[in-house]
Amino acid sequence: MRTLAVINQKGGVGKTTTTHNLGAGLARRGLRVLLVDADPQAHLTTAMGQDASAQKGGGLFEALTGEAAPLDVVRTGVGPDLLPGSLALAGIESRLSGTPGREALVRRVLEKLPGYDVAVIDCPPNLGLLTVCALGAATEALAPMQAEFLALTGLAALLDTLRAVRSRINPELALAGILLTRFDARRRLGREVAARLDEHFPGLAYAARIRENVALAEAPGFGQDIFTYAPGSRGAADYAALAAEVAERAPRPIP
C-alpha cells in the first residue's frame, strides 16, 4: 500500500485540508483510500463529519494500544474510509513509554488493514512520537508549506528530519513532493518563494498549487470535502490537479 505522511512541523499550513481533499480526489480517481487522523486535535475526523470523541467507537488510539482491532474502528462511507483520531492521542507517549519498537506501531496497524491502494496520514504539527510513527509507516512524505520566506527555512529543517528517519527507522522513506498552499500568484512574495523553491529544490515542488479559497475553509464546517461542498470552486480544481499529479508522479529521493 502506498502510504503518504502529510507533514510539516508548523501549524496552519494546510495539512488537514490537504489530507482530506487529496484523499477525496484520489478516491474520485477510482482508488480505494484510507485516511488516518494521527493528530490529537482530530480536526480531520471532525472535517469528515465524524464524532472525534474517544468514547464513540474508538479510533487510532485504541488500535495503537491494542484495545481495539484496527478493522473494528475504521469508519466507512462515501469517499475515503477513515481511521479516526481523538484527544486521547495526546497521552499516547506516556501510554506507550517503554514499549519496544513503538516507532513501528502505526505500520503494524496499517498492515492489518488490507485492500487499500493509498493511505494518507494527517500528522500533528510537531515532531513527537505520533509523527515519527507516521513517518515510520510511510512510503513517502508530502510537505505542504505556505508561500512565505520563513517557510523555506522550516522546509530545510523538515528535510533534515526526514533524512534522520530514513537512516534510523525507515530506509524506504521517500519524498512525494512539496506543496505550496494559500498561494496567490498576484503577490510578488508568492512568486518569489515559488521561484526560490524551484531553485533550491528542483523537481520537488508540485506543479499544482493550492490557491486561497473561502470554500476550502467552509467545507469542514459541513463535514464535507471540497468536491462535495463546492465542486466548481478553485479549491476543487486545485485539489483535483494535485490528486492527478500525486497519482501519476513517482516519489523523489529526499535531498
Specify whether the CB–CB gap between 175 and 252 falls below 8 A.
yes
Q: Would you place residue 55 in the very low, low, confident or very high pLDDT band (cuts 50, 70, 90)? A: low
pLDDT of residue 156: 86
pLDDT of residue 189: 85
Query: Which CATH superfamily is 2-248 part of?
Result: P-loop containing nucleotide triphosphate hydrolases (3.40.50.300)
Q: How many CB atoms lie within 10 A of CB 101?
A: 9
Spatial distance between the Cα atoms of 198 and 29, rounded to a whole number of angstroms: 28
Give me the sign of the Cα torsion angle 37, 42, 43, 48.
positive
Q: What is the mean pLDDT of the chain?
A: 92
169-185 tens-digit pLDDT: 999 999 999 999 988 87
| Backbone φ and ψ of 231, nearest 5° | -65, -20
Least trusted range by pLDDT, from 121-135, 142-156, 199-213 = 142-156
Q: How does DSSP assign 127-147, residue by residue? A: -SHHHHHHHHH-SEEEEEEES
Q: Would you place residue 51 in the very low, low, confident or very high pLDDT band (cuts 50, 70, 90)? A: confident
User: What residue ranges in the chain does DSSP mark as E strands?
Assistant: 2-6, 33-37, 81-83, 118-122, 140-146, 174-181
Per-domain residue ranges of the chain: 2-248
141-175 tens-digit pLDDT: 999 998 888 888 888 889 999 999 999 999 999 99
pLDDT at 56 over 90: no
13-40 tens-digit pLDDT: 899 999 999 999 999 999 999 999 999 9
Q: How does DSSP assign 94-116, residue by residue? A: HHTTT-TTGGGHHHHHHHTSTT-
Spatial distance between the Cα atoms of 207 and 242, rounded to a whole number of angstroms: 8
